Structure 1
Amino acid sequence: MTAPPCPASIIAADLAGMRSQTFGLARRVGLEPHLYALVPRGLWRHVPAAWWPSPLRAIQPLGLDSLAHPVISIGGSGGAVGAALRRKGATVIQVQNPRLPPGRFDLVIANRHDRIAGPNVILTRTALHGVTPELLAQAQVEWGPRLAHLPRPLVAVLVGGGNGRFRLGRPEGAALAVSLATMMRRDQVGIALTPSRRTAPEVCRELHDALAGPDSWIWDQSGPNPYLGLLACADAIVVTMDSVSMVSEAVATAAPVMVAALPGRSRRIGLFLRELEQVGRIRPFAGRLETWPVTPLDDTLMAAEAVRAHLGLVAP
């Protein structure tokens, strides 16, 4: 009888992107993640976490007595708390640049575009995630029949939302909708599209209006989430540039990935996309279907192997 996986404590804000990265890493290591949601107290939510003099007092109580080890922390606030826990004897794996010296953690796993270095720093080309070949195969079995009515080639479209770096409001949504409709008509492709929680309602309306018809399917955000199914069934993928996580999950598949530009600027995301374009894994989306030979790119496995080696664990 197989023993249940050992637990790991996740110190993170309760956000989808942070759960995806930390849970994905933990499960690839062979650990069962348990989230301890990080919520700053009062005025501390307005102060950079690297300046918190007492990180464990700057947040709502985590229930430290029940924390399992190792601890996986993420981001600046998670890093501040993770470093404090390590001073108390915990083994702490930090994901993303903690904005603190890497030596305050057992391991730091960051993207290359974070531009940090150290003997305990593991650099990846993509964000960490849990999209594995096994999960994609299961999703293909589930979603293949549901999407079988759409023309082939089938283009999966992953739409994010505006943030502090990029704009995706009604004008940008309308422009994206026109480009997708042009591709659907000229290249005779099927489209399966999923918005995210961050996609504005007016953007969803523009997409629905432009893509209405038998050759497209748009998730109405009710019922089972089709995200993995779209990744698994796609012959090609279009993803908006605002999300490193969505791009990273898309390039983990065997489909060519086209990135839809948005107004705005991010040095970090620009470096991330430039490297993937240089190795031929992504191309800009120009309103037409493009296909080219690709190989799945997923650095989460390499990061998980480094964590297992540090913890003395065998592969699951």
Structure 2
Amino acid sequence: MTQTQKYNKSTKSPVVWVISEGLTGTENQCLGVAESLGVQAEVKRIKLSQPWAALSPWLGFECGATFCPQIAPPWPDLLIASGRKSIAASKYIKKMSGGQTFTVQIQDPRISPKHFDLVAVPQHDPTRGENVIVTTATPNRITAEKLEQAKNEFAPLFSTLPSPRIAVLVGGSTKNHKLQEKDLEKLVETLATLSRQASLMVTTSRRTGEYGTHLIQEKLDKPDCYIWDGQSPNPYWGMLAWADYILATNDSTSMLSESASTGKPVYNIPLVPLSGRQLQLVENLKTHGAVRDWHGTPEDLSYPALNDAAYIAAQIRQKSGLF
């Protein structure tokens, strides 16, 4: 849909779909944009049926049977999608809606941007074009208002920890690098030293692995350290809200982007070797002033908190004619 097409904004709100593969990180990127638009999006988590699941999503032979569950009209006014499998769905909905659905692809689709109305890529992705907008990092759902809500919600858990409070966000193995035990042990040694001068709030991920999770729980078992047990609901938002400083391992695009959206001092801790786009993300965040390398002592620093979701939302408002 272009601004020249007729859309009666006075009689109805736009229907918005978010399409994802069900991965939390990419889905939250889309939801962050939808929330910045002030709309309630319907989330559709799709898989590709055979034989499409075994084929490249860029071939362009999509039909109704391509998707599981099937997607059907009435088509949305706005589609926000992210992830490899969502590309086929975006192209299909654009075609079946007669071009009426305004399609937004988050992250580099690795095909020509001409297949979408708007493409939003982080600075470390190479795709550029007339309908491509570039963000510093990845969009997310972090806002000052939500952090304030999380601070109230998690006060019983974190308010009694002595200041300074440091949120420690631990990732792990990536598709390019397996997390080594020696690197985990070095990280835990760093955290054990830090725990003597600050309260720690530590969360791990599935990628941390059993050995890493056990090591953290064993070595940081002390009154002023909160270690998420992996079983109860993850108080990740509460950690960000209560933190005076944030330490994030270098492997996670989502954790670094979300941390840099808080406006709080963020430190990057090496955990796995970096290359390519992830390395460039870290360097871009350093250039922005949002992230520094960890050298043993937290310091206050000031920078404009990222709000890439709001920037993308503003571009959608300007270009879609829907708002």
Do both proteins adopt the same fold according to a TM-score greater than 0.5, normalized to the shorter chain?
A: yes
- Higher mean alpha-carbon deviation, 152-161 vs 257-266, is at 257-266
Match of 1:310 in 2: 319
Match of 1:115 in 2: 126
Contact 1:235 1:255 in 2 (8 A): yes
Contact 2:19 2:79 in 1 (8 A): yes
Write out aligned runs for 1:252-291 (5 A).
Answer: 252-291=261-300
Write out aligned runs for 1:222-301 (5 A).
Answer: 222-301=231-310
Contact 1:12 1:38 in 2 (8 A): yes
Given the superposition, is the C-alpha separation of residues 133 and 57 from structure 1 closer, same or farther in structure 2, using an over 3 Å criterion?
same
The CA RMSD over aligned residues, in Å, is 2.2
C-alpha distance in structure 1 between counterparts of 2:182 and 2:70, whole Å: 42
C-alpha distance in structure 1 between counterparts of 2:13 and 2:205, whole Å: 31
Write out aligned runs for 1:114-153 (5 A).
Answer: 114-153=125-164
C-alpha distance in structure 2 between counterparts of 1:10 and 1:38, whole Å: 10
Question: Is 1:37 aligned to 2:45, yes or no?
Answer: yes
TM-score where L is the length of structure 2: 0.88
Given the superposition, is the C-alpha separation of residues 211 and 49 from structure 1 closer, same or farther in structure 2, using an over 3 Å criterion?
same
Match of 2:71 in 1: 63
C-alpha displacement of 1:151: 2.2
For residues 203-241 of structure 1, give each alpha carbon's deviation from its aligned partner in whole angstroms, at most 9, with x where no partner exists: 111111111101200111333331111111111001111
Contact 2:75 2:93 in 1 (8 A): no
Question: Is 1:179 aligned to 2:190, yes or no?
Answer: yes
SS of residue paired to 2:172? coil
Given the superposition, is the C-alpha separation of residues 252 and 121 from structure 1 closer, same or farther in structure 2, using an over 3 Å criterion?
same
C-alpha distance in structure 2 between counterparts of 1:4 and 1:173, whole Å: 53
Match of 1:51 in 2: 59
- Higher mean alpha-carbon deviation, 133-142 vs 54-63, is at 54-63
C-alpha distance in structure 1 between counterparts of 2:172 and 2:74, whole Å: 36
C-alpha distance in structure 1 between counterparts of 2:152 and 2:73, whole Å: 42
SS of residue paired to 2:168? strand
Given the superposition, is the C-alpha separation of residues 267 and 202 from structure 1 closer, same or farther in structure 2, using an over 3 Å criterion?
same
Question: Which among 195, 211, 216 is matched to residue 207 of structure 1?
Answer: 216
Question: Which among 91, 101, 110 is matched to residue 83 of structure 1?
Answer: 91
Match of 1:99 in 2: 110
C-alpha distance in structure 1 between counterparts of 2:206 and 2:102, whole Å: 33
Contact 1:75 1:96 in 2 (8 A): yes
For residues 227-258 of structure 1, give each alpha carbon's deviation from its aligned partner in whole angstroms, at most 9, with x where no partner exists: 11111111100111121111111011131101
Match of 1:10 in 2: 18
Question: Is 1:28 aligned to 2:28, yes or no?
Answer: no
C-alpha distance in structure 1 between counterparts of 2:206 and 2:74, whole Å: 31
Contact 2:151 2:238 in 1 (8 A): yes
- The one-letter amino acid paired with 1:182 is T
- The one-letter amino acid paired with 2:257 is S
For residues 80-113 of structure 1, give each alpha carbon's deviation from its aligned partner in whole angstroms, at most 9, with x where no partner exists: 3212321222321111111111111111111111
Given the superposition, is the C-alpha separation of residues 233 and 91 from structure 1 closer, same or farther in structure 2, using an over 3 Å criterion?
same
Match of 2:8 in 1: none
Contact 1:159 1:239 in 2 (8 A): yes
Given the superposition, is the C-alpha separation of residues 28 and 177 from structure 1 closer, same or farther in structure 2, using an over 3 Å criterion?
same
For residues 260-280 of structure 1, give each alpha carbon's deviation from its aligned partner in whole angstroms, at most 9, with x where no partner exists: 112233311111111111222
C-alpha distance in structure 1 between counterparts of 2:258 and 2:203, whole Å: 14
C-alpha displacement of 1:49: 1.8
Identity of aligned residues (%): 31
- The one-letter amino acid paired with 1:59 is F
C-alpha distance in structure 1 between counterparts of 2:322 and 2:193, whole Å: 51
- Higher mean alpha-carbon deviation, 42-51 vs 142-151, is at 42-51
